[in-house]
Chain A
Amino acid sequence: MTDMKRRSPVVFPFEIKKTEPWEHWTVVTEYKSEREDLWIVDLSHRPRWDIQNNALSDLKPLDFAIPDTPGQCRLEKGVLINRMNRTQASFWQLTGERFEMPDDAAFTDTTDGTLFLAMVGREVPLVAEKLSALDFLDPTTTSPRLFQGPFAHVPCQMVLVDKSDDKPGILLTCSRGYAKDMVAAIMQAGREFTLKPAGQTAFNRWVESLT
């Protein structure tokens, strides 16, 4: 399987400056005309697992603790764990090397079946509120916080990672089949704010700045 090739469902119509191979994916690390203050990044190559178990709080995948309350998230060492409901959580590896998935029936690898995007910048909540009725600006919520509901009419999991005024960020996953239309809808909504794609390098820097 050395020549296996994995493709992201996302293509941004912008000129790429740098790519690098990673786990059979070709990852864009930098685009030519990146913006510092508002960008979207394709993270579909980053490993994601679904964890489902009746006694979820007793599980500690790779020594990462799962939050107790649905809606709560925990960001630790480049890994984001989101509690979805009583029996389910999602495990997103945002940066760093890929972890081997535990050999346990509770774990399902969802990487190849889902789209994964991140939007970062001060205007991100304004872009999001054009596409969803979910209230990302609710002053009573704290970040990181999981939202589950329609975004551009597509059922999504979204995490408001940072709600600071300076550089708030939203991570979003949905079924892979919606990728093309989801990206088109976000780029259209972000046009008035000059939303542009960025590579994994900019995203890594942002995640580092959070911890």
Chain B
Amino acid sequence: MALTLTCPVCGKRNGYEFRYGGEDKGPKPDGFGLTPDAWCEYVHMNRCVAGIQKEWWCHKDGCGVWFTTHRDTLKNLEVEASS
């Protein structure tokens, strides 16, 4: 297990301390005029990027904070946002 993640409170920690929270899909769509299809798309469909994607993680064994970070899914490594 090579994955380490950088918690904004505790710093860089072993990946086993974290819980994956899914892809970052942006803010929840506005409920007004939202169709079931659009809601289904937002909730269930993922982009599954082969490369760098922005994700939600929770430091469940530490401070409990939810945060977003970028991970290269091909290498399973946390990366800088610009790389």
* Chain A residues at the B interface, C-beta cutoff of 8 Å: 70-71, 84-86, 88, 133, 147-150, 155
Residue of A whose beta carbon sits closest to that of B9: A70
Q: Does A148 contact B63, Cβ atoms closer than 8 Å? A: yes
Partner pick for A85 among B14, B60, B61, B65, CB 8 A cutoff: B65
Residue of B whose beta carbon sits closest to that of A133: B14
Q: Does B64 contact A85, Cβ atoms closer than 8 Å? A: yes
- Give B10-37 interface residues, CB cut-off 8 Å to A: 10, 13-14, 17
Q: Does A150 contact B17, Cβ atoms closer than 8 Å? A: yes
Cβ-based interface call for B62 (8 A): yes
* Chain B residues at the A interface, C-beta cutoff of 8 Å: 9-10, 13-14, 17, 59-65
Lowest 10 A-B CB distances belong to which pairs? A155-B61, A148-B62, A70-B9, A148-B63, A85-B63, A149-B62, A85-B65, A150-B61, A85-B9, A84-B63
- Taken together as a complex, chains A and B put the C-alpha atoms of A155 and B10 apart, in Å, by 13
| Chain A neighbourhood of B63, CB < 8 A | 70, 84-85, 148
| Contact (A149, B65) CB under 8 Å given A71-B9, A133-B14 | no
| Chain B neighbourhood of A149, CB < 8 A | 10, 13, 17, 61-62
A67 to chain B, nearest CB (A): 13
B62 to chain A, nearest CB (A): 4
| Chain A neighbourhood of B17, CB < 8 A | 149-150
Residue of A whose beta carbon sits closest to that of B61: A155
Q: Does B62 contact A71, Cβ atoms closer than 8 Å? A: no
- Taken together as a complex, chains A and B put the C-alpha atoms of A32 and B10 apart, in Å, by 40
| Contact (A88, B61) CB under 8 Å given A71-B9, A71-B10, A149-B13 | no
| Chain B neighbourhood of A71, CB < 8 A | 9-10
Q: Does B10 contact A148, Cβ atoms closer than 8 Å? A: yes
Select the residue from A70, A85, A147, A155 with max chain B CB neighbours within 10 A. Answer: A85
Q: Does B62 contact A88, Cβ atoms closer than 8 Å? A: no
- Taken together as a complex, chains A and B put the C-alpha atoms of A85 and B62 apart, in Å, by 10
- Taken together as a complex, chains A and B put the C-alpha atoms of A209 and B46 apart, in Å, by 57
Q: Does B60 contact A155, Cβ atoms closer than 8 Å? A: yes
Select the residue from B9, B17, B63, B65 with max chain A CB neighbours within 10 A. Answer: B63
A135 to chain B, nearest CB (A): 9
- Taken together as a complex, chains A and B put the C-alpha atoms of A63 and B60 apart, in Å, by 31
What are 23 A-B pairs with beta-carbon distances under 8 A? Answer: A70-B9, A70-B63, A70-B65, A71-B9, A71-B10, A84-B63, A84-B64, A85-B9, A85-B63, A85-B64, A85-B65, A86-B65, A88-B64, A133-B14, A148-B10, A148-B59, A148-B62, A149-B13, A149-B17, A149-B62, A150-B17, A150-B61, A155-B60
| Chain A neighbourhood of B9, CB < 8 A | 70-71, 85, 148
